[in-house]
């Protein structure tokens, strides 16, 4: 029983990693899932060579959405912007390692959606700078 709430998910939910605002972030972005009211805000620091130096988040919502965001902050560290843009549902499933119904998958994907939103905003800003 309690298939979804494996120890590691509960651990990330109760003690999320990188769970803070970042004052010197390169970019930040916030979004919600209107269906369940989950909210996530991501802050990302990006190197000059386009690599993620650090990602932090804050949010409110179900264990799946918050644990998934917490795990993401760890995973994307050192990845390039392009690599993060290529992440999708398969990678998130793998990251969480638990069976997810289609509805719960939406919860799991919220963090990634917000993070990718932040990167899109970053790229837009880069273009405008030029």
Chain residues binding another protein by CB under 8 A are: 1-5, 10, 13-14, 34-38, 60-64, 103-104, 107
Of 72, 75, 83, 55, whose CA–CA distance to 109 is shortest? 72
The neighbouring-strand residues paired with 45 are 54
Of 128, 108, 28, 33, whose CA–CA distance to 67 is shortest? 108
Q: Which is nearer to another protein, 2 or 128 (CB)?
A: 2
**Beta carbon of residue 89, minimum distance to another protein (angstroms, whole number):** 18
Q: Which is nearer to another protein, 25 or 64 (CB)?
A: 64
Gyration radius from the chain CA atoms: 14
Output phi, psi for 45, to 5 deg: -105, 125
**Beta carbon of residue 44, minimum distance to another protein (angstroms, whole number):** 25
Q: Which is nearer to another protein, 25 or 108 (CB)?
A: 108
Q: Which is nearer to another protein, 22 or 63 (CB)?
A: 63
Placement of tokens 């799946």 in the chain:
64
**Beta carbon of residue 58, minimum distance to another protein (angstroms, whole number):** 14
């Amino acid at each position: 029983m309690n298939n979804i709430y494996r120890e590691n998910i509960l651990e990330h939910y109760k003690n999320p990693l990188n769970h803070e605002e970042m004052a010197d972030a390169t970019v930040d972005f916030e979004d919600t899932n209107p269906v369940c009211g989950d909210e996530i805000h991501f802050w990302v620091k990006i190197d000059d060579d386009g690599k993620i130096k650090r990602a932090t988040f804050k949010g409110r919502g179900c264990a799946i959405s918050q644990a998934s965001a917490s795990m993401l902050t760890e995973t994307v560290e050192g990845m390039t912007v392009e690599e993060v843009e290529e992440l999708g549902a398969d990678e998130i499933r793998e990251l969480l390692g638990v069976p997810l119904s289609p509805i719960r998958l939406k919860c799991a994907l919220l963090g990634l959606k917000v993070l990718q939103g932040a990167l899109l905003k970053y790229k837009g800003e880069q273009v405008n700078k030029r």
